[in-house]
Amino acid sequence: MAAIVKQPMLLGYHAAIHEVNFADEAMGLLGNQEACKDQFALGYLHKCAALNGFTWIVNMSTKYIADPRITRFLCAAPPNAILWDYIESLGQEVDDEYWNQVLTIMNQFLSPEDLERCVSKLNNNGRFASAFNTMLYKLDYVSASTILNTLQGLIRHPSEVGTEADVSVYNVKVVFSKLDALYPDPATMVRLEWAYFQLLNEEDHERPVTYLFQALRDDPGFFSQLITWIGRPEGGDSELEIVGMEPPAIQQRARNADQVIQAWNLLPGQSESREIDHEKLAEWCTMAIAACQEKDRTRLGYNRIGQLFGQLRDGDEHWPQAAICSVMEFYNHDEMKRGFYSGVINGHGVKVNFRSGDSGAALEKAKAEKYRSLAAGIAIEHTVVNSLLLQVAQMYDGYSRQVAEQDAQRE
């Protein structure tokens, strides 16, 4: 029957409830090549252990201590500290085998105290995916160091045989929020946010990327390091910088660095009110460009700084701030201007008044007028940014004409 039911473990569980007495036969089924029989035996022995208590577990273990299936039997028993202490008394080999095999589905019933010990033991045995899934059951009772060890272990070993970590966007953000309250070490959090950036950067307001962006703001050298990972040196070979790295890892690092800079949402010297301290921004740019020069990525450094300035953050009504315009004016560098133009085109865009009944051509025209208006507001003091905004306006004028022509052809 175990071979034809969808949940053989549940069948075994109910067999034990109805006092079908074949514990010895169930022991013989453990580890069977037919998975359904192994699962039936696990369910049966699990319920027997729950019904008969710890003494029954010890008696069965003593009876089968020389049987290679003893560890599988112990894995069937309901997990708790008393069981684990007993397993440790059986020797290191049995203890290691147990933690390498134990099914984490049963860990949802652990007490808060036992959960911490369980996650730590799974980590110690390299089962980081199982540890992550287990600690989600009662995250409030897991220590900062254990959460940290689990997240760091998952970076090196993201999966294990038969188990995938449930690293959904929601779960990762929940874990990071908990870690924020327990382990606010900036350097460690920067490394973790870098490793989990793709998940943390998903569009929602629950636990956004924080420490990584603060590091960019506070350390121009970190910005230059990301620039190094994005592009090759301008006058030499990058082979010495990637020794020991496989091409997929190099490409992934470059993508991550590129997306981190693109997602950066608070410029150096910028307050939460979006105002920017010109002196702090200018100082950061000087140091960042010098660091990029040392790494032979001067043009790329200028370009990415220009992109940062050009990206409109959430329809920022203060943009382009005087501090941005002044820095652009001071450098007047071609790559910085190219980057600014690119950032404007690929950024969030300006807010324009647009009615649902208006044509696509009208929308493009409204964008052109908006950028033309912004340019007019800074025409006298900031000619560099003024010129760039006029170029953007001209581009949208062209789009407007193209859309109008396409609409006319369809009519």
DSSP for 139-170 reads: GGGS-HHHHHHHHHHHHH--EETTEE----HH
Report helix, strand or coil for 121. Answer: helix
**CA 96 to mean position of chain CA atoms:** 31
Local structure of residue 159 (DSSP, 8 states): E
Residue 148 pLDDT: 95
Q: Are 135 and 107 in contact (CB under 8 A)?
A: no
Residue 239 pLDDT: 61
pLDDT tens per residue across span 291-321: 999 999 999 999 999 999 998 655 667 889 9
Residue 349 pLDDT: 65
Residue 31 pLDDT: 86
| Closest to 295 in 3D by CA, of 268, 257, 247 | 257
Q: Are 211 and 189 in contact (CB under 8 A)?
A: yes
Residue 360 pLDDT: 77
Residue 127 pLDDT: 95
Distance between CA atoms of residues 90 and 65, nearest Å: 9
**Prior bond to 248 cis, omega within 30?**
no
Q: Is the pLDDT of residue 339 over 90?
A: yes
Residue 314 pLDDT: 52
Buried b / exposed e over 181-219, threshold 16 CB at 10 Å, is eeeeeeebbbbbbbbbbebbbeeeeebbbbbbbebbbeb
Q: Are 102 and 71 in contact (CB under 8 A)?
A: no
Beta strands 163-164; 159-160: pairing state: antiparallel
Report helix, strand or coil for 276. Answer: strand
Amino acid at 15: A
Residue 18 pLDDT: 81
Distance between CA atoms of residues 56 and 53, nearest Å: 6
Q: Measure Cα distances from 91 to 65, 87, 97, 291 in Å.
A: 12, 7, 10, 56
Q: Is the pLDDT of residue 101 over 60?
A: yes
> Sorting pLDDT into bands at 50, 70 and 90, what band is 411?
low
pLDDT tens per residue across span 199-209: 999 876 688 99
Least confident of 161-170, 265-274, 320-329, 388-397: 265-274
Q: What is the arithmetic mean of pLDDT over 125-130?
A: 95
Q: Is the pLDDT of residue 1 over 60?
A: no
Residue 229 pLDDT: 93
Amino acid at 353: N
Q: What is the arithmetic mean of pLDDT over 388-396?
A: 95
Distance between CA atoms of residues 13 and 51, nearest Å: 11
pTM over 0.75: yes
Q: State the Cα angle at 214 between 213 and 218, rounded to 5°.
A: 120
